[in-house]
Structure 1
Amino acid sequence: MVNSEKSSDILEILGEQVPLGVSKTINFNIANLYTSTKVEIPIIIERSKEPGPVVLITAGIHGDEVNGVEVVRQVISKKVNKPYKGTIICIPVLNVFGFLTMNRYFPDGRDLNRVFPGSKNGSLASRFAYQFTNEILPHADYCLDFHTGGGSRFNAPQIRVASDNKTGLELATVFKAPFTLLSKNLEGSYRATCAKKNIPILLFEGGKSQNNNKEVAIEGLHGVIRILDYLGMLQPEFSLHISENINILITKSTWIRAKFSGLLHIKVASGAKVLKGDRLATITDPYGKMRHVMKAQNEGYIINVNEAPIVYKGDAIFHISTALGDEN
Structure 2
Amino acid sequence: MTGFDDKNVLHILGEKIAPGQKRTLNFNLAKLYTTTSVEVPIIIQRSKKPGPCVLITAGIHGDEINGVEIVRQVISKKINKPARGTIICIPVINVFGFLNMERAFPDGRDLNRVFPGTQNGSLASRFAYQFTNKILPLADFCLDFHTGGGSRFNVAQIRVDPDKKELMPYAQIFGAPFIVYSKNITKSYRSTCAKMGTPVLLFEGGKSQISDKDIARAGVHGVMRILDHLKMLDKDFVVPEQTKDSIIIQSSTWLRAKYSGLLHLKSTCGDFVEKNEVIATITDPYGTFRHKVKASNDGYIINTNEASLVYQGDAIFHISTALVD
TM tier, smaller: over 0.9
Distance 1:6 1:186, change over 3 A: same
Structure 2 distance, partners of 1:202, 1:67, is 16
What is the CA-CA distance between 1:244 and the residue it aligns to? 2.3
Q: TM-score by structure 2 length?
A: 0.97
- What is the deviation of 1:237? 1.1
SS of 1:159 mapped into structure 2: strand
Task: State the match for 1:255 in structure 2.
Answer: 254
Letter in 2 for 1:94: I
Please name the residue that 2:22 is paired with.
Answer: 23
Total equivalences in the alignment: 323
**In the TM superposition, what is the alpha-carbon distance from 1:167 to its structure 2 partner?**
2.1
Residue identity in the other structure for 1:33: L
Output the CA distance in 2 between the equivalents of 1:106 and 1:136. Answer: 19
Q: CA offset at residue 319 of structure 1?
A: 0.3
Partner residue of 2:281?
282
Deviation at 1:192, TM superposition (A): 0.5
Corresponding residue for residue 133 of structure 1: 132
Provide the residue aligned with 1:120 in structure 2: 119
Aligned to 2:49: 50
1:64, 1:267 → 2: CA distance? 27
Task: Specify the code of the residue in structure 1 equivalent to 2:168.
Answer: L
1:321 aligns to what?
A: 320
Per the alignment, residue 163 of structure 1 pairs with 162
* Within-5 A mapping of 1:28-43: 28-43=27-42
Give the distance between the partners of 1:241 and 1:222, measured in 2 at CA: 6
Aligned to 1:300: 299
Residue type of the alignment partner of 1:175: F
- Deviation (angstroms), 1:243: 4.3
**Residue identity in the other structure for 1:15:** G
Rounded to whole Å, the distance in 1 between the matches of 2:243 and 2:77 is: 20
Amino acid at match of 1:66: I
* Partner of residue 68, structure 1: 67
Paired with 1:7 and 1:47, the residues of 2 have a C-alpha distance of 12
Unaligned runs of 5+ residues in structure 2 are none
> What's the offset of the Cα at 1:166?
1.8
1:279, CA displacement in angstroms?
A: 1.2
Query: CA, structure 1 residues 181+6, in 2 after alignment: closer, same or farther (shift >3 Å)?
Result: farther
State the alpha-carbon separation in 1 of the partners of residues 58 and 240 from structure 2: 26
1:156-191 Cα deviation digits (max 9, x unpaired): 000001001122112101101000000000011000
For structure 1, which runs of at least 5 residues remain unmatched after alignment?
none
Q: Which moved more, 1:27-36 or 1:7-16?
A: 7-16
Deviant stretches of 4+, over 4 Å:
4-8
Amino acid at match of 1:246: D
In the TM superposition, what is the alpha-carbon distance from 1:6 to its structure 2 partner? 7.3
2:95 and 2:244 map into 1 onto residues whose CA distance is 33
TM normalised by structure 1 equals 0.97
1:300–1:245 Cα change, 3 Å: same
> How many percent identity over aligned positions?
65
